[in-house]
Amino acid sequence: MTRSSSSCQVMLTKNPDFQRGLVNGARAGRSGLSAWEIIDGKTLDCVEISVARVFERGQAYLVLSQARSLEDLRVMDFNPRVVRADPDVLFFYGKWRKE
């Protein structure tokens, strides 16, 4: 098995292995057929994402915020109904703005 010089990054949408940190929202690098390499907490140079199957409040923001800029972001299957914020978060920021 050889390693390819090209690589891509994948964001998980399930929790396949909680003990190893492979959880919903974690990002992993994939190079050829080599093993997963966890790279949590970093932005991506190029993001192409489908938000059609977003099911939780804040999930769309999490995915969209991974792009460094709008030029680096491609959104497919956009559905504005799936982009939702938690009411408690909206309340917090509304109160914070007033103060």
Question: pLDDT tens across 20-57, in order?
Answer: 877 777 776 655 433 354 446 567 788 888 888 888 88
Q: Would you call 75 exposed, middle or buried from its count of C-beta atoms within 10 A (0-12, 13-18, 19+)? A: middle
Give percent of the chain above pLDDT 70: 74
User: At CA 16, angle to CA 13 and CA 22, rounded to 5?
Assistant: 75
Mean pLDDT of the chain: 76
Q: Residues 82-95: what's their mean pLDDT? A: 89
Coil, helix or strand at residue 53: coil
Q: Which residue has the higher pLDDT, 99 or 39?
A: 99
* Nearest-angstrom CA–CA distance, 5 and 42: 21
The dihedral region occupied by 33, where left means phi > 0, alpha psi between -120 and 50, and beta the remainder, is alpha
**What is the structure's pLDDT at 22?**
75
Question: 91 pLDDT band (50/70/90 cuts)?
Answer: very high
* Nearest-angstrom CA–CA distance, 69 and 28: 20
Coil, helix or strand at residue 4: coil
